[in-house]
Amino acid sequence: MNPSLHSIKTILTNRKERIAIAESVTGGDVQSTFSLSDEALRFFEGGITVYNLQQKVKHLHVDPVNAKACNCVSEQTASEMAAGVARLFASDWGISITGYASPVPEKGIEELFAWIAFFNDPKIVLTEKITAPHGSPSDVRWYYKDRIIRIFLKILSHS
């Protein structure tokens, strides 16, 4: 098991806290990683992968006007996704990510970036824009997943 993920599991289980994850750009990779950890049932509630605006609005209560204006990639959308998934799964923590794993030239997107948010009931504790090096979409997704795990461990260690 990933040492950072093992530490996250230990902290969450000791605190009797649970987590849920909302993903877009990473397509379920973060959920998969958490679900495969030892004793996942003790701290991982589950998650949702939502690629389009309609699903983000329906399941996570994302503001449709803001999300449409930014192609669902913004600090606000990530924050709403994190809070929404925590509420949807009745968990203490919600993590979300929305962004780009490959360029979208027709929208003028060349930089690969994502917004991530960490919600701990009742508030957002951190949002961050992360920029990925260019690579294959799967390499970019792995980069995002790794950053989320490292940042979440830092948050837990300091709270």
CA distances from 78 to 2, 73, 84, 118, 135 (A): 25, 7, 10, 9, 23
CATH code that applies to domain 3-157 = 3.90.950.20
Element (DSSP H or E) covering residue 3: helix 3-15
The one-digit pLDDT tens for each residue of the chain (159 residues) are: 688 999 999 999 999 999 999 999 999 999 999 999 989 999 999 999 999 999 999 999 999 999 999 999 999 999 999 999 999 999 999 999 999 999 999 989 999 999 999 999 999 999 999 999 989 999 999 999 999 999 999 999 998
Domain coordinates in residue numbering, the chain: 3-157
> What is the value of pTM for the model shown?
0.95
Q: How far apart are CA 21 and CA 31, in angstroms?
A: 6
**Structure tokens given for 55:** 């699903």
